[in-house]
């Protein structure tokens, strides 16, 4: 068994075993942490479950000792600090406790705070979800810059909030929210179903499909044996008295390539030792992983995907459908970033990116010889595609063309294997292809224009759209420009949306003719930022949010908060993960639509162009 598959306190082992508890009051932090490591522990969860026994000074002291010993720290928030309380006064106290726990965790350098979300009771589950979102909305400004994850623990009984689906929904909106998988709770909610390697693997597959890769690398989990009843968990029991075993979990994690933090929450020292020994024994039985990492190691891409040789290609491990790739070590960027890195990036970003691509035809920007080689755009879906790569038929001037559409992680990875660096989606979706669900303002700096002019243009547009009563969402183009999206209900044809963008664009040019232009002749744009309203036409595409761009350094077309305009100019495939941890998906509002143009058109003094309509 290679060393990397043992449990230890190396910087990035594949498994970290630890326990939950509190050191004795008289324990010297360095001695305590070194003793844990000598026992084979790589993690420790401080159980602040009944209050706050430590102040910030002691947290810092313990954190320094843990860091020197190589321990991964987490903190369990008080049991009373839940998110589903309806009474506002009590809810404020709960949120204050969560905030305080996260600040103590930040002081000690802990990676995550574990929280029990709370009960649903007799309330409508959707209403409880809305309530939890509101609680997190008020908490976010106070904690999102702490660089500590808020780990929502999976529920163990009916009537409790916190299915993996619940947590995935919240994590898609709040970047600091992460899943904490309590295996005893999952076991109970499945009626005692976690008894095989395959059952654990099914959970890993769901997690990989539902959460971006950085949230699962490593995946924070808790483990103890339990007694299961009709409505879920009855109680924790000593290890061996129930039906949950750790060996199949270890094997499933190894097969799935999931990096795991495993915290024993057993109440008995004998149970801690028994779980630990079974983990070690299981690791000794699990074969070393086949193949090699997909990535080159040059870029910060989470996920730990592995590939194994298969004939003249490579098989990607841990996918729901069979996926093979070619030439993973082929450099595509001049810094040595490889096709394997690109494939791994799209696999890791998939849960965030896919909602923005669902049911949209894609034009493929392919760079088989790298960003400095010949490239081409491909509309028609390749004939050699796997049967699980789905298409959307589009009636074009060249007849009906089947475009690829991305509805699963593996499709994004397959496209990246074609050296499709950029994903270019339509502005509309299957079922309403003639009616866009967003308007786009494309700020394209012409030769001689400066970045500061792009910033001026974007800020002018924000002011204009706000006065028109419209929400808007900016993103870096990934090149020299910027894109701003205005989400719409899909009720207008392209001509009407284009007319609206043109009218607003001409107002911006009138307000700042020195910096902005809508001149069609290229020579007349020199030194200015071009506003291209013709991007809003049927069949036109633009690089998707989170798409990699074919430029040095592998930049990403990354969403921004309006407050960041002017301060953030470039985001790469290395940087995007920290932004997601802090902000979540800043483009999530684009998916919500819910806006119409009639009032804005009236304010602009324009009506719909002749022959256009809204449904």
For residue 462, the 8-state DSSP code is H
Q: Is-contact 298 341, C-beta < 8 A? A: yes
Topology classification of domain 3-288: TIM Barrel (3.20.20)
Question: Which numeric CATH code is attached to 293-425?
Answer: 3.90.920.10
Q: 83-121, pLDDT tens digit by residue?
A: 999 999 999 999 999 999 999 999 999 989 999 999 998
Question: Which numeric CATH code is attached to 438-604?
Answer: 3.90.920.10
Calpha distance 7→263 (Å, rounded): 13
Is it true that 3-288 and 438-604 share their CATH fold? no
For residue 302, how many other CB atoms are within 10 A of its CB? 20
For residue 214, the 8-state DSSP code is G
Report domain extents, the chain.
3-288, 293-425, 438-604
Calpha distance 285→278 (Å, rounded): 11
How confident is residue 133, by pLDDT bands cut at 50, 70 and 90? very high
Residues sharing a CB contact under 8 Å with residue 310, sequence separation 6 or more, in sequence order: 324
Helix (H, G, I), strand (E, B) or coil at 443: strand
Q: 13-39, pLDDT tens digit by residue?
A: 778 999 999 999 999 999 999 999 999
- Helix/strand/coil (H, E, C) string of 83-108? CCCCCHHHHHHHHHHHHHHHHHHHHH
Q: Is-contact 541 527, C-beta < 8 A? A: no
Q: 329-379, pLDDT tens digit by residue?
A: 999 999 999 999 999 999 999 999 999 999 999 999 999 999 999 999 999
Q: 159-182, pLDDT tens digit by residue?
A: 999 999 999 999 988 889 999 999
The pTM of the whole model exceeds 0.85: no
Q: Is-contact 143 102, C-beta < 8 A? A: yes
* 587-413-359 Cα angle (round to 5): 50
Q: Is-contact 170 133, C-beta < 8 A? A: yes
Kind and range of the H or E element at 347?
Answer: helix 339-357
Q: Which of 142, 266, 259, 244 is nearest to 199 (CA)?
A: 244
Over the range 381-399, which residues count as b (16 or more CB within 10 Å of their CB) and which as e? beeebeeebbbbebeeeee
Q: Which residues pair with 423 in a beta bridge?
A: 364
Q: Measuring CA to CA, how many Å separate 165 from each of 155, 162, 176, 207, 541?
A: 11, 8, 17, 9, 32
For residue 523, how many other CB atoms are within 10 A of its CB? 8
Calpha distance 393→381 (Å, rounded): 10
Residue 15 has phi, psi (to 5 degrees) of -135, 135
Helix (H, G, I), strand (E, B) or coil at 177: strand
Q: Which residues pair with 60 in a beta bridge?
A: none
Q: 400-449, pLDDT tens digit by residue?
A: 999 999 999 999 999 999 999 999 999 999 999 999 999 999 999 999 99
For residue 298, the 8-state DSSP code is S
Helix (H, G, I), strand (E, B) or coil at 109: coil
Residue 218 has phi, psi (to 5 degrees) of -90, 170
Residue-level pLDDT at 1: 33
């Amino acid at each position: 068994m290679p060393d990397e598959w043992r449990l230890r306190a190396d910087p990035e082992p594949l498994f970290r075993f630890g326990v939950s508890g509190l050191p004795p009051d008289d324990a010297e932090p360095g001695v305590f942490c070194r003793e844990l490591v000598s026992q084979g522990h790589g993690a420790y969860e401080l159980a602040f479950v009944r209050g706050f026994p430590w102040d910030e000074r002691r947290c810092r002291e313990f954190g320094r000792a843990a860091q020197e010993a190589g321990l991964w720290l987490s903190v369990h928030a008080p049991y009373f600090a839940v998110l589903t309380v309806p009474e506002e006064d009590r809810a404020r106290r709960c949120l204050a406790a969560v905030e305080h726990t996260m600040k103590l965790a930040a002081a000690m350098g802990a990676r995550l705070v574990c929280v029990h979300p709370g009960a649903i009771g007799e309330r409508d589950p959707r209403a409880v979800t809305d309530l939890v979102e509101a609680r997190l909305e008020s908490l976010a400004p106070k904690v999102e810059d702490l660089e500590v994850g808020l780990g929502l623990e999976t529920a163990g009984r009916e009537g409790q909030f916190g299915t993996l689906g619940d947590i995935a929904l919240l994590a898609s909106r709040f970047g600091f929210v992460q899943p904490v998988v309590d295996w005893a709770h999952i076991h109970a909610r499945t009626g005692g179903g976690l008894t095989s390697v395959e059952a654990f693997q099914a959970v890993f597959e769901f997690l990989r499909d539902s959460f971006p890769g950085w949230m699962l690398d490593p995946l924070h989990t808790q483990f103890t044996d339990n007694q299961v009843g009709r409505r879920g968990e009855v109680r924790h029991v000593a290890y061996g008295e129930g039906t949950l075993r750790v060996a199949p979990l270890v094997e499933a994690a190894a097969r799935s390539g999931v990096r795991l933090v495993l915290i024993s929450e057993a109440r008995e020292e004998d149970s801690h030792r028994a779980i630990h020994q079974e983990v070690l024994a299981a690791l000794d039985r699990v074969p070393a992983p086949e193949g090699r990492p997909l990535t080159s190691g040059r870029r910060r891409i989470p996920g730990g995907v592995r590939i194994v040789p298969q004939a003249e290609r490579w098989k990607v491990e841990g996918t729901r459908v069979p996926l093979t790739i070619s030439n993973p070590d082929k450099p595509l960027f001049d810094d040595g970033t490889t096709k394997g890195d690109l494939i791994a990036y799209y696999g890791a970003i998939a849960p965030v990116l896919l909602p923005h691509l669902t049911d949209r035809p894609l034009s493929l920007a392919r760079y088989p010889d790298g960003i400095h080689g010949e490239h081409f755009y491909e509309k028609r879906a390749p004939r050699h595609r796997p049967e699980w790569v789905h298409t959307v038929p589009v009636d074009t001037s060249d007849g009906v063309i089947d475009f690829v559409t991305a509805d699963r992680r593996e499709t994004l990875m397959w496209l990246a294997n074609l050296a499709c660096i950029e994903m270019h989606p339509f502005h509309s979706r299957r079922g309403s292809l003639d009616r866009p669900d967003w308007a786009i303002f494309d700020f394209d700096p012409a030769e001689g224009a400066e970045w500061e002019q792009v910033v001026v243009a974007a800020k002018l547009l924000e002011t204009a759209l706000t006065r028109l009563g419209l929400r808007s969402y900016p993103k870096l183009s990934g090149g020299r420009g910027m894109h701003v999206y205005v989400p719409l209900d899909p009720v207008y044809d392209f001509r009407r949306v284009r007319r609206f963008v043109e009218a607003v664009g001409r107002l911006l040019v009138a307000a700042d003719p020195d910096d902005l232009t809508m001149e069609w002749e290229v020579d007349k744009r020199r030194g200015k930022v071009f506003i291209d309203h013709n991007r809003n036409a049927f069949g036109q595409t633009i690089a998707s949010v989170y798409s990699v761009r074919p430029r040095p350094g592998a930049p990403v077309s990354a969403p921004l908060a309006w407050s960041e305009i002017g301060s953030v100019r470039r985001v790469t495939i290395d940087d995007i993960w920290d932004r997601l941890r802090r902000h979540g998906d800043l483009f999530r509002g684009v998916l919500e639509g819910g806006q119409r143009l009639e009032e804005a058109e009236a304010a602009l003094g324009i009506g719909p162009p002749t022959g256009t309509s809204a449904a």
